[in-house]
Amino acid sequence: MKWLQKKRVLLLLFLGFLVIIFFNSSWLSLFYPIHYKEEIKYHASNNDLDPLMVAAIIKVESNFKTGSESKKGALGVMQIMPDTAKWVILKAKLEDIPLEKVKGETGANIQIGTWYLKSLSDQFEGNPIAMIAAYNAGPTNVKNWIKSGRWDGSLEKSNDIPFGETRHYVKRVSHYYEQYQNIYESL
């Protein structure tokens, strides 16, 4: 009988140890790493964006893989479409960044992506959920959904987003953003 009690105590201690390790943010950061912290922090700050939101978008877009190119042709860690990159380069006066750098150079990709996110944030009056949706579906679609009353721009009503891909995207980015907020005090 005493041996069984000792086993239970040891099991409870072991489980307690696992719980402490798992909920310690330094351990959790192994499951939710953020790469390119300096570039994210720098460009997010320059564009008045939350760096953890930018990191969550990068996580969902490319899982931090440099040089990524989607089947649709989106480029780099932030998966920027070439036409969008050209538009940002022109509007932001970033002519020193050739389109080739958008795919392969993480800093240039994040610079263009964060500038674009800032323009979306401005278009949607700082609504981060609408900004996320517009990054995926395009601002015209999101404006039409909100204007028509189809979606109100909130996370709570994200099931009302007409595009399944965008609905899923908004939920995934929001999930990673929440995890990053719980794990990292800041970048």
Instruction: Convert the pLDDT of each residue in 14-27 to its tens digit.
Output: 776 666 655 555 66
- Reduced to 3 states (helix: H, G, I; strand: E, B; else coil), residue 162 is coil
Instruction: Convert the pLDDT of each residue in 57-68 to its tens digit.
Output: 999 999 999 998
Asked if residues 187 and 37 have their Cβ atoms less than 8 Å apart, the reply is: yes
Give me the mean pLDDT over the 166-178 stretch.
Answer: 98
Res. 11: pLDDT tops 80: no
What is the per-residue pLDDT for 20?
60
> Which residues are known catalytic residues?
61
Give me the mean pLDDT over the 133-146 stretch.
Answer: 99
Retrieve residue 79's tokens: 């998966």
Asked if residues 178 and 52 have their Cβ atoms less than 8 Å apart, the reply is: no
Give residue 97's region: left, alpha or beta (phi > 0; psi -120 to 50): beta
Res. 36: pLDDT tops 80: yes
12: confidence class by pLDDT, cuts 50, 70, 90: confident
Give me the mean pLDDT over the 40-50 stretch.
Answer: 98
Task: Compute φ and ψ for 80, nearest 5 degrees.
Answer: -90, 130
